[in-house]
Amino acid sequence: MPDVKVNEPRLLLEGKVALITGAGGGIGSTTARIFAREGARLILSDVDRDLGEAIRKEIVDAGGEASFFAANVAKAEECEAMVAHAEESFGRLDIAFNNAGHIGVYQPFKDYPLSEYERIIDVNIRGTWNCLRAEIPLLLKNRGGAIVNMSSTAGIVGSAGAAPYVMAKHAITGLTKAVALDYVKDNIRVNAVLPGAVDTAMPRRLVGGDEAILAHAASMIPQGRFATAEEVGEMVAFLCSDRSGHTTGGLFLVDGGLTAA
């Protein structure tokens, strides 16, 4: 039994070096703020340099440690360079949040635009694969670490009009389980987070900003609302911390009861 210590301040990610992809977006930037608050040193990456630089500056201005590296996760060589940058900047890597993603458009399967299909596969499936391939060797060198892959409830249930996204997020849940087992004896934990609908630019873009559609979507969630990006980021921070030490190959819902109904 641990000794009882009351009111002892303890940061969740004290001293850890953490990489976040898609760090300029809604969930990525919010998770970066939570990681910084919890004592992590950050490598922030995004294909969008302006968005990524903005969150790096915000964290550094607030007294945190953060470096930005522009990378398209669909390109293996850019993911390798991103991880090399992490090692050069901080000498190690403890945590990776493979969060970059692309949702595409809503269209029935036979009409789905092929260019959007290709991009969804490239960013979500190839992107997560490329990140893992680049990160695992450095984590092995460091003798352990924690990875969280960004999936979605679309990684365990279907969604009409979103076949490529559903396929891609299912691939990420499968990849998470398989890679977790490959490295379970190497002190590397690999989990996935599965949000339902989160209040970021992504769902707004998908429905062209139509508030009525967003309100209807929220009404379909048992909690009656979208998740906040903070609620997703807090789950990711826990899964990346030593407090979830016996957790690997797991799929963690942040969906307000959506898939329980």
Ligand X SMILES: NC(=O)c1ccc[n+]([C@@H]2O[C@H](COP(=O)([O-])OP(=O)(O)OC[C@H]3O[C@@H](n4cnc5c(N)ncnc54)[C@H](O)[C@@H]3O)[C@@H](O)[C@H]2O)c1
Using CB under 6 A as the criterion, which residues of the chain lie in contact with ligand X when the complex forms? 21-22, 24-28, 46-48, 51, 72-74, 99-103, 123, 127, 150, 152, 195, 197-198, 200-203
> Is 86 within 8 Å of 143 (Cβ atoms)?
no
The reply to whether 112 belongs to the active site is no
Least separation, in Å, of the C-beta of 53 and ligand X? Answer: 12
Q: Count Cβ neighbours within 10 Å for each residue of 119-128 and write b for 16 or more, e otherwise.
A: bbbbbbbbbb
**What are the two backbone dihedrals, phi and then psi, of residue 11, each rounded to the nearest 5 degrees?**
-75, 140
The structure tokens 């939570």 sit at 34
Of 150 and 171, which CB lies nearer to ligand X in the complex structure?
Answer: 150
Least separation, in Å, of the C-beta of 200 and ligand X? Answer: 3
Of 27 and 180, which CB lies nearer to ligand X in the complex structure?
Answer: 27
Least separation, in Å, of the C-beta of 154 and ligand X? Answer: 7
The structure tokens 């009111």 sit at 7
Of 142 and 228, which CB lies nearer to ligand X in the complex structure?
Answer: 228
Structure tokens at 36: 């910084």
Quickly count: other Cβ atoms within 10 Å of residue 160's Cβ: 9
Whose CA is closest to 150, among 192, 89, 94? Answer: 192
> Is 157 within 8 Å of 108 (Cβ atoms)?
no
Of 48 and 187, which CB lies nearer to ligand X in the complex structure?
Answer: 48
Least separation, in Å, of the C-beta of 98 and ligand X? Answer: 9
The residues carrying an active-site annotation are 165
